[in-house]
Structure 1
Amino acid sequence: MAKVVVIGANGFIGSHLVDGLVGAGHEVTAFDRFSTARPTFSALGVTVIQGEFLSRADLESAVRGQDYVFHFLSTTSPATAEADPTLDIRTNVAQTVELLEACVAAGVKKFYYASTGGAIYGPQDKAEYSEMDRALPISPYGIGKLSIEHYLHYFRKKHGLDSTSLRISNPYGTRQKPNRKQGLIPIALRQIVLGQPVIRLGSGSMVRDYVYVEDLVRMVIPMVGVDSQFDLYNLGSGEGHSVAGVIESLRRVTGLDFDVTEKPTPATFVDRVVLNTGRYRSEFGSVELTILDEGVRRTYQEIRGQSNG
């Protein structure tokens, strides 16, 4: 059993990670603002620390005495980072450096960082991307994530802080907040539940690697405390689905005939991103993946239940 803290524990991926870590027998501390009335994770026996990511003192309190730190909090989304690139620099990048400094002072053994596989490789016109491919992000969100990955290298060299970057594809599933304007599937499902048109960017030809959040957590858990071969891993389904294909899945699952409104594709959006997860699978084995329709069905049930509630 290890002592671990999840930064961003009340968020979409973070809350599922808390449940997975507790289920694996670890002693878990959950750090977040906890702006909701109750934690979104379901596990019991979790130590809750309510604090602000932008507070150095709060971060120092969160990492004190911990073996492993999971940084799964972001102050921006791709859209908000695009609207104000300096916000991402001033909050995500700068504050993560302060978090790393706090980890060094606390003697943390390893730092796990939720990077992005969806935005970090940029437009290179490849069928899929491996960790050996160059990272050429063209969005502020991806640039910020890559900057933090570089700081992890610095802290390893300068201070001996071990770390692993997890380049996560396009996660979706329960507990994702559709009002945050990030994630095609939950946003579209919310529009459907409200009886409003689904917004499609471009013709629907964009291809993404969608991974159900519980599958993602099952990938992360075996990595805890392991002296892994690499410091960087792609985590995703390894399969591509077009936006048009996702919309057809939404129709099949909901059984509803909804309108689709097309809007221009932002200039910084990449046409195709599918991750090669061979490095992860060769070291940690394969995870049985949830098929798209089933993941959409679970997400739809939750969003519909929230609407009825």
Structure 2
Amino acid sequence: MNDHPNLTGPGLAGTECLVLGAGGFIGLNLCRALSVAGASVRGYGRASAFPGALPPLRWISAEFSDRSMLTDALEGVDTVFHLLGASIPAHAERDPADDLRTNVAASVELLRLCRTAGVRRIVYISSGGTVYGVPRSLPISETHPTDPISAYGIHKLLMEKHLGLQAYRYGMRVMVLRASNPYGPFQIPDRGQGLIATLIQRRLSRRPVEIWGDGRIVRDFLHIDDLVDAMLRAAIYEGSHGVLNVGSGIGRSVLDVVASVDKVLDTKGAEILYRPGRAVDVPANVLDVALTQRELGWVPRTEWMLGLRGTAEWIASTCHPALLTLRSAGPLT
């Protein structure tokens, strides 16, 4: 990773890292990778649904709003990975004022605490799928106008601006990664996010798949291993860019994803229920990742069907005991 000209220093070995939201899908995968990289890891947030999958780390079980616990957790930390305050889009739409209070305001307070604690760097996961809004051209580069059409996207963009202010005023190193739609092991289905995990679980449990609209909207799906790789690289990046897209660079319609899942699971012809389209859904979103490739020396490496198969195997074996019999019956062997 350090052979790229903008990636300097000894890497992450021995670096004191705090992962806010360590018990979630992205956070758990990140903690595992940080541990392998030799970092000293602290995890903060609510208990993980898969505690046995976490590597050895110092765990702080607390709410995002607990200033005292956050202050203690930040002591001596060099790098913060900020994955908290990331509500699901549906909640932000239902109650944008509450989302501002509980997520954006809490994140702004976090930045103040980071300054006081002497944190050197923050890596923040934004939403490449929502901050740009309706695309004027595809793929979408970092210079594309940001005109989100959802409260979730607006709040993500607002946090990006606050982070940029920290970098400008106080010299804190800030890296914003505008991630596309991540998928992979440890993503729990039916949580309001994670189309692929939800599709797989519904197919495995013989339930119909629900699609908003006609299924032709296009999205960019990124395996969690590739997202985590970009996060590790962003944590040691010393170049001049503070905002980078992280996606596969490939667009797939929802119907294409359903067809791929059905191929992996051998569930062709299973029922699809079409629901009315949603105003918050842009018609297409595919990220241009050329800048990220150049600056971080990063490329998405996980092949699409292999990533789906690995995700399906994990969901079948882990998320729902009733699915174990389906797995042993044949589709995933």
TM-score, length of structure 2 as denominator length: 0.89
Deviating more after overlay: 226-235 vs 138-147: 226-235
* Residue 151 of structure 2 corresponds to residue 140 of structure 1: yes
> Alignment length, in residue pairs?
307
In 2, Cα distance between equivalents of 1:288 and 1:275: 12
TM-fit CA distance, 1:158: 2.8
Query: How do 1:127-206 residues align onto structure 2 when only pairs under 5 Å count?
Result: 127-206=138-217
Write the deviation string for residues 146-166 of structure 1: whole angstroms up to 9, x where unpaired.
000111122223333221111
1:97 maps to which residue? 108
Write the deviation string for residues 38-88 of structure 1: whole angstroms up to 9, x where unpaired.
526432x31111111121112112211100000012351011111111121
* Residue 23 of structure 2 corresponds to residue 10 of structure 1: yes
CA contact (8 A) 1:65 1:106 kept: yes
In 2, Cα distance between equivalents of 1:276 and 1:40: 36
In 2, Cα distance between equivalents of 1:292 and 1:80: 30
CA contact (8 A) 2:248 2:300 kept: no
1:297 maps to which residue? 309
CA contact (8 A) 1:18 1:41 kept: no
Where structure 1 has 5 or more consecutive residues not aligned to the other structure, the ranges are none
Question: Match for 2:77: what amino acid?
Answer: Q
Where structure 2 has 5 or more consecutive residues not aligned to the other structure, the ranges are 1-13, 323-333
Q: Which of residues 68, 87, 91 is equivalent to 1:57?
A: 68
CA contact (8 A) 1:10 1:41 kept: no
2:285 maps to which residue? 273
CA contact (8 A) 1:125 1:272 kept: no
SS in structure 2 at match of 1:4: strand
Alpha carbons of structure 1 residues 163 and 286: separation in structure 2 relative to 1, 3 Å: closer
* Residue 232 of structure 2 corresponds to residue 224 of structure 1: no
CA contact (8 A) 1:130 1:276 kept: yes
Consecutive aligned runs of 4 or more in structure 1 exceeding 4 Å deviation: none
In 2, Cα distance between equivalents of 1:279 and 1:66: 29
2:225 maps to which residue? 214
In 2, Cα distance between equivalents of 1:105 and 1:121: 32
CA contact (8 A) 2:247 2:300 kept: no
Write the deviation string for residues 106-158 of structure 1: whole angstroms up to 9, x where unpaired.
00001111101000100034211111111111101000000001111222233
In 1, Cα distance between equivalents of 2:130 and 2:187: 19
Q: Which of residues 276, 295, 303 is equivalent to 1:283?
A: 295
* Residue 47 of structure 2 corresponds to residue 34 of structure 1: yes
1:19 maps to which residue? 32
Deviating more after overlay: 15-24 vs 70-79: 70-79
Deviating more after overlay: 251-260 vs 74-83: 74-83
2:79 maps to which residue? 68
Alpha carbons of structure 1 residues 127 and 288: separation in structure 2 relative to 1, 3 Å: closer
2:256 maps to which residue? 245
In 2, Cα distance between equivalents of 1:223 and 1:157: 18
Question: How high is the sequence identity, in percent, across the aligned residues?
Answer: 37
CA contact (8 A) 1:174 1:302 kept: yes
Alpha carbons of structure 1 residues 226 and 127: separation in structure 2 relative to 1, 3 Å: closer
In 2, Cα distance between equivalents of 1:93 and 1:164: 17
Q: Which of residues 247, 258, 261 is equivalent to 2:273?
A: 261
Deviating more after overlay: 223-232 vs 272-281: 223-232
2:3 maps to which residue? none
Question: Match for 1:166: what amino acid?
Answer: L
Alpha carbons of structure 1 residues 79 and 9: separation in structure 2 relative to 1, 3 Å: same
CA contact (8 A) 1:249 1:293 kept: yes
TM-score, length of structure 1 as denominator length: 0.95
Deviating more after overlay: 66-75 vs 217-226: 217-226
In 1, Cα distance between equivalents of 2:33 and 2:130: 26
What CA RMSD, in Å, does the superposition of the two structures yield over aligned residues? 1.5
1:308 maps to which residue? 321
